[in-house]
Amino acid sequence: MKRHIPNLITLLNVFCGCIATVFAVQNQLEMAAIFVFLGIFFDFFDGLAARALHVKSELGLQLDSLADVITSGLVPGIVMFQLLGMSMTGGWNAGEMFGYDRSDYGLSILFNPLPLLGFLITLASAYRLAKFNIDENQTSSFIGLPTPANALLILSLPLILLYQNNDILNEIILNQWFLIGVTLLSTYLLNAKIPLFALKFENWGFKDNALRYIFISISLVLLLTLQFLAVPIIIVFYVLSSLVANLQTKNG
């Protein structure tokens, strides 16, 4: 029975991703973010459960990536689609970009293709996860930005709009060129050949996990002080600290 426990946790990730997709399509981005966060929580603990129970399996690996395609790939793509639509309409409903004209059994759909650029994030996430499944070099570290981290980056944007209450930030986030830039940067980082440390603890000693403990501590301070604005800063800090650690390893 215990060998099924990690897979059941992974399926909870899938379930959260499905619910988040529904909310994202309905442009309820706050609720979508909540269920993405829950999905990422389950994504973290299915691996812990597998290691603790010593029940790692090829099925679990494949299922984990399939779950991430939904929760950390599809949902961020839809959210960016909505944000790009908002940047064009000045409102919360990207669906305003679509016009429907039913006549003579026909359906004419007119739309601006710009919001569809958001799905580059979904495509890049799926490609990254496929590579991850066949790459034996990403056991204790990652090559490129993990899809959950990228999902947090994208989902933080509507939360900053909702809760930071800053006109300058709102203007920046709802700028089309900013959103296009974030989309392209996200797409690049997901598949960039940049070694990034993983938050996987083989033991709890500080010496072997100094970078992880420092990163977690600074991240908590940023979250407490900057709230949702801290999320993109933490992602940037994650990439930069990994680059510094890589340089130290090479020079050491």
Whichever domain contains 77, its CATH number is 1.20.120
Contact (Cβ atoms closer than 8 angstroms) between residue 67 and residue 91: no
pLDDT of residue 111: 61
pLDDT of residue 223: 95
Residues of the chain short of pLDDT 70, as ranges, are 1, 50, 52, 90-111, 136-140, 201-204, 208, 249, 251-252
CA torsion 11-215-34-180 (nearest 10°) is -100
Domain count across the chain: 1
pLDDT of residue 142: 86
Give strand pairing partners of 141.
Answer: 197
Quote the pTM value: 0.86
Residue 122 lies in domain: 2-251
pLDDT of residue 132: 86
Token pair for 241:
């600290």
The alpha helices in the chain, defined as continuous H runs, are 5-25, 29-53, 58-69, 75-89, 120-134, 147-163, 167-173, 176-191, 210-226, 230-251
